Structure 1
């Protein structure tokens, strides 16, 4: 008689959970996916998902295969309040993408262009792990947070595409502070100016 319960081997179990998580997050979004649902699809107990990955946020970051957890770096960006946040956000973005994590970022963007599943995962990652964390604690109208987040995301993903994927000059080799000075004010406008869109 076959035994039920844990899958054999730690790596097999982790990969089964990550695969189920990617599918669940892509199909249902971060908010709609549950640990119980992911565990069921992976054929494991929900406690095992928590054992390997901790919280749902940590599982999502692991499923995205991104080497940095936004929950650990975005508080620095938001700490100074809304004034100057556009420049801080761009500076942090460039620091990450110019560092060792940049290769993972390029892979995510390239995958999102080629695959609908990857695009949905990246969209959820940006919305729930990056933009929501950056904007939720600011003094902005909650009904405007999605639109402001979309506009900020369009700037940052556009910057990533041009600087790191397509490598369009002179942007690709521009000094980080020059990019901060050029792009930061746009981000700041999306943060604190009245919206005249939609």
Structure 2
């Protein structure tokens, strides 16, 4: 036996493990996007990733946990929206947050996974619970943390409701004329309302 360190049989190297995990997440996002939460299975994700389903369970656990991990990565651009408030003047926090959130939805690269997430959340209670947990923990609390007012959490939730509601009507349900309206017109209409929620009396 040589002095070189040996690995246990079948145990992947750390870099291999990271690559495998990322590959499974990519496959999971595609499966959830194409089939929705209910029609996606761990077995289907494993097949798309070219691995055994036991490996999916090893890295993530249940289908719910795979979904949460997959959407957290896909939802990352939207979760960065509160950063827009960091240096915003008090009278422009509404416009800055609105522009950041709408910008994520307007970008096709970030809109596609968001559509899959929202559609799954609208049609499945488990997916909705995961989505709600992610929104509450990583988006609303971060927005509220940048508001120096006693009812900051309620203000953040009302602002988010305004923006998410608009996103669902424009990008998911595609209600006209909202679906075809100029994006700057939408921002101009939404921003004062969001400003009122975040910083109004």
2:64 aligned partner: none
How big is the shift at 1:138?
Answer: 2.4
Partner of 2:90, secondary structure, is coil
How big is the shift at 1:128?
Answer: 2.0
Q: Which has the larger radius of gyration?
A: 2
How big is the shift at 1:62?
Answer: 4.8
Residue 116 (structure 1) aligned with residue 110 (structure 2) = no
Partner of 2:175, secondary structure, is coil
Runs of 4+ in 1 over 6 A off after TM superposition: none
2:177 aligned partner: 170
Aligned residues: 154
Q: Is the 8 A contact 1:82 1:138 kept in 2?
A: no
Q: TM-score, normalised by structure 2?
A: 0.63
Aligned-partner Cα distance in 2 for 1:107–1:71? 16
Aligned-partner Cα distance in 1 for 2:165–2:78? 19
Q: Is the 8 A contact 1:68 1:101 kept in 2?
A: no
Correspondent of 1:90 among 87, 98, 101: 98
Residue 179 (structure 1) aligned with residue 194 (structure 2) = no
Superposed counterparts of 1:78-157, under 5 Å: 78-99=86-107, 100-141=109-150, 144-157=151-164
How big is the shift at 1:83?
Answer: 1.7
Per-residue CA distance 1:52-106 (angstroms, 9 max, x = gap): xxxxxxxx66553415345645323332143211111111111110101011111
- Deviates further, 110-119 or 6-15: 6-15
Aligned-partner Cα distance in 2 for 1:85–1:180? 13
Change (3 A) 1:68 1:169: same
- Deviates further, 96-105 or 130-139: 130-139
User: Is there any run of 5+ residues in structure 1 with no aligned partner, and where?
Assistant: 20-41, 50-59
Partner of 1:150, secondary structure, is helix
